[in-house]
Each structure stands twice: as C-alpha cells, then as structure tokens.
C-alpha cells in the first residue's frame, strides 16, 4: 500500500517517519513544503497519480493558533481548501484518508470529556478552519476518517514541552495557566494509531467512510500540571506557579475544557492508549538522548 504522508516534517509526520520501519507492509512516502503543497491541487493530483498513492495521512496544517487570528486567509487555505484538495485527489483511487483535527473545534464549556457526537462551536479562526476541513472529509464519499487530537507535543518541532524546558533552564520561576484543562498527547502515540488503522486487519475490515474519532493520551491535566510534570521528570529546577487565563492574554481564545472521550477509537480499533505522564517520560528520555 503506497501511503502519502503530507506535512511530513512537522511533529506528527516526523513521529510517523520514526515508526515507519515497524510497518513494512506500508510503503510510506513523506512529503512537505516546498516539495508538495496541499493547496496546489494540480500538483497534488499529479503526485497521487504518478506515485500510485492508495492512502494519505494528512499531517499538513496551519497550526499557529494565535497567528491564525490575523492570517485567517492562509489558515483557511491550508486547513480547509487543502483538505478538500486531498479528498478530490483521492476520489479516483478508492484510497483511504486519515485527516487530523483538533479539540479547538469545541468551545470548552463542557464538564465531561467530549464525545464525537457532541456539538462543535469553535471560538477562534484556527478551530473554525479546522472544522471546515473536518466537514470536507466527513461529507465526502471517500473512505476517510477524521481523528481529533489535543495538546500535541513531540521531540520534534516547537511545542509546550520544549518551551517549558527552555524557559525552566533560564528562569527560577514560571507562571503557567491552571484554568485550562485538557490532555497532553505525545505525537508518537497518535502516529502509532494512524499506522495501525491503516495496517491492521481490524482496521482494514472497518469502512472508514465519514467516521470521526477522538484520540489523546489518557488522563486529564491543566497546563500548570503539565508544566510541573515536565520540570519534575526533566529534572529542571524551576518553580512553576499557577496563574489564570486572564493573566496570560493571547490573541486567540482557548477552550477552558477540552478533554476528549476516546472510547470509540479504543473499541473500533482495539487499541490501548498510554497515560499522559508515561508518554511524557518517554518523550523526555528521547529528547535527553538526542
């Protein structure tokens, strides 16, 4: 099976690349800007045809949540139009699409973990454009699924874990928001799930058409809890103080609660999901050994 991984140099794409050797039944082809732009339909269609692509894992996205408030046109182009291009390019091939979306499609006013059936109501441009991308897949007739995830980090790219480690080494004290609650997700765990969905027999028997899944690590944390764990496990001597969202204003509003319920993905694909702190330990060890 020839699988195109778009946005391959980002956090998720890089983790998929690291796992590729464990899935020798999948021929993974990694592409990112400037070689392959999902916003350029003709280029994309040509690539899919010429390389006999059967499936796509779309890791390409405009992920700068705050900048999206100003750059809404670019965010819309990549997160919405780009996804529609992937759907159109796959139409002729009968191939599968795994598209990744976000907890930011919710407004965060819930108090119990969000299910796939809960109504969406994004509160920022990024969430809006990602919702449009979801609909491009869900409303199409291709064999495609959307996996929503949250608070992604990895040993690759820029993310909260790396920022905390850097700031923690420079400062004695750091204020981190405690009134936003979600679940950190190690991109490697999500990468493994994407590859299992495409490779394992259970996954192949299930039609992916139009399905929506939630995936994060297990457990619940505030950004404050997450930062405390990073300092503790990473052996960084920095005092982390809890602060409120109002004391750390950002251009884009964030949901106060975005914990995802993962029952559906676990039941359909028979997977177990690691607890967030266990995965954080694994990622910090990888970073230490880099």
Ligand X SMILES: NC(=O)c1ccc[n+]([C@@H]2O[C@H](COP(=O)([O-])OP(=O)(O)OC[C@H]3O[C@@H](n4cnc5c(N)ncnc54)[C@H](OP(=O)(O)O)[C@@H]3O)[C@@H](O)[C@H]2O)c1
Token pair for 24: 């020798």
**Residue 85 binds ligand X (CB under 6 A):** no
Q: How far is the CB of 89 from ligand X (least distance, A)?
A: 12
* CA distances in angstroms from 80 to 84, 98, 128, 247, listed in the order given: 6, 15, 9, 32
Q: Please, which residue, 24 or 42, has the CB nearer to ligand X?
A: 42
Q: Is 126 a catalytic residue?
A: yes
Q: How far is the CB of 172 from ligand X (least distance, A)?
A: 27
| Residues 170 and 179: beta-carbon distance below 8 Å | no
**Residue 255 binds ligand X (CB under 6 A):** no
Calculate the CA dihedral of residues 263, 267, 271, 276 and round it to 10 degrees. 10
Residues whose CB falls within 8 Å of the CB of residue 260, separated by 6 or more in sequence, listed in order: 103, 113, 114, 148, 149, 150, 183, 214, 215, 216
Rounded Cα distance between 211 and 188, Å, is: 22
**Residue 127 binds ligand X (CB under 6 A):** no
- Rule CB under 6 A: choose which of 150, 155, 193, 279 binds ligand X: 150
Rounded Cα distance between 276 and 284, Å, is: 12
Token pair for 259: 């914990």
Reported in sequence order, the residue ranges of 37-131 that DSSP labels E, i.e. its strands, are: 55-58, 96-102
Q: How far is the CB of 91 from ligand X (least distance, A)?
A: 19
Which residue in the list 62, 104, 114, 126 is annotated as catalytic? 126
Q: Residues 19-58 vs ligand X: string with x where CB under 6 A?
A: -------------xx---xxx-------------------
Q: Please, which residue, 190 or 239, has the CB nearer to ligand X?
A: 190
* 166 phi and psi angles, rounded to 5 deg: -65, -50
Q: How far is the CB of 150 from ligand X (least distance, A)?
A: 5
- Rule CB under 6 A: choose which of 16, 60, 161, 230 binds ligand X: 60
- Rule CB under 6 A: choose which of 151, 178, 215, 224 binds ligand X: 151
Q: How far is the CB of 142 from ligand X (least distance, A)?
A: 18
Residues in the chain: 290
**Residue 10 binds ligand X (CB under 6 A):** yes
- Residues with active-site annotation: 126
Residues that bind ligand X (CB under 6 A): 6-7, 9-12, 32-33, 37-39, 59-63, 78, 82, 100, 102, 130, 149-152, 157, 187
């Amino acid at each position: 099976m020839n699988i195109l991984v778009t946005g391959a140099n980002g956090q998720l794409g890089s983790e998929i690349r690291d796992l590729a050797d464990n899935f020798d039944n999948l021929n993974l082809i990694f592409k990112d800007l400037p070689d392959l732009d999902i916003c350029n339909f003709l280029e994309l269609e040509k690539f899919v045809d010429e390389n006999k692509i059967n499936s796509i894992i779309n890791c390409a996205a405009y992920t700068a949540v705050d900048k999206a408030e100003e750059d809404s046109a670019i965010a819309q182009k990549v997160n919405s139009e780009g996804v529609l291009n992937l759907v159109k390019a796959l139409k002729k091939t009968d191939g599968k699409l795994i598209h990744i979306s976000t907890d930011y499609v919710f407004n965060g006013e819930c108090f119990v973990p969000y299910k796939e059936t809960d109504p969406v109501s994004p509160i920022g441009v990024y969430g809006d454009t990602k919702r449009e991308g979801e609909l491009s897949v869900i409303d199409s007739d291709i064999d495609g699924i959307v996996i929503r995830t949250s608070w992604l980090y990895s040993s690759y790219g820029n993310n909260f874990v790396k920022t905390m480690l850097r700031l923690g080494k420079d400062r004695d004290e750091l204020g981190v928001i405690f009134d936003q609650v979600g679940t950190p997700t190690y991109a490697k765990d999500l990468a493994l799930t994407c590859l299992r969905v495409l490779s394992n027999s259970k996954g192949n028997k299930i039609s992916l058409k139009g399905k929506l899944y939630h995936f994060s690590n297990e457990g619940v944390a505030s950004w404050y809890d997450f930062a405390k764990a990073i300092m503790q496990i990473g052996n960084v001597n920095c005092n982390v103080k809890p602060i409120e969202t109002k004391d750390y204003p950002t251009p884009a509003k964030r949901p106060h609660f975005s914990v995802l319920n993962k029952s559906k993905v676990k039941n359909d694909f028979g997977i177990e999901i690691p607890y967030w702190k266990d995965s954080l330990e694994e990622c910090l060890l990888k970073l230490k050994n880099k």
